[in-house]
Amino acid sequence: MDSQNPYAPPRAEVHDVYTPGASQELAGLGTRLGAHLLDSLIGSAMIGGPFIVAVLIGAGMQAGQSGGNSASSGAFLGGVLFACIGFIVWAWLNYRGVAESGQSIAKKMLNIRVVRSDGSPATVGRIFWLRNVVNWLISVVPLYSIIDILFIFGEERQCLHDKLADTIVIKA
């Protein structure tokens, strides 16, 4: 009888996205610092830039008109609106990059990415909640930020927020 059993499990070969235990080259200290500074600069430009431009344009347009404080408050509110739009665009670009490859805008530019310590992809939730939110909440403790950064000089090159989230930063 040559008929196949319809209840048999599939026999397809499955390839994993990552190989557990495979050696991954850790990102350098300078590259990680550069990515952090570049991400900060990009975020500031995408949020603060539209705010400043909108306030300056609004103030310039209202300079010839009388209105006192209402004119300057209108320019400020316009700046806040544009800053919120800039934040939404910045957050969306970072979300897409982290969801697709574990890379923020600057990490993608510098060819590094965040993965779990076993090499598997890190989820957006793990990166957002454990690496960012929990770390931010703990940062109210005096000197925590300095201690967090100093952990990178260990053999594993993990900051404290990496250890909290069980992540590493590798070359992409």
Q: Is residue 66 pLDDT above 90, yes or no?
A: no
DSSP 154: S
pLDDT at 52 > cutoff 70: yes
What confidence score (pLDDT) does residue 116 get?
95
Confidence of residue 11 (pLDDT cuts 50, 70, 90): confident
Q: What is the pLDDT of residue 40?
A: 95
Neighbours of 59 (CB within 10 A): 16
Distance of alpha carbon 39 from alpha carbon 109, whole angstroms: 10
Tokens of 83: 């800053």
Indicate the domain borders of the chain.
Answer: 29-171
Strand partners, 121: 115
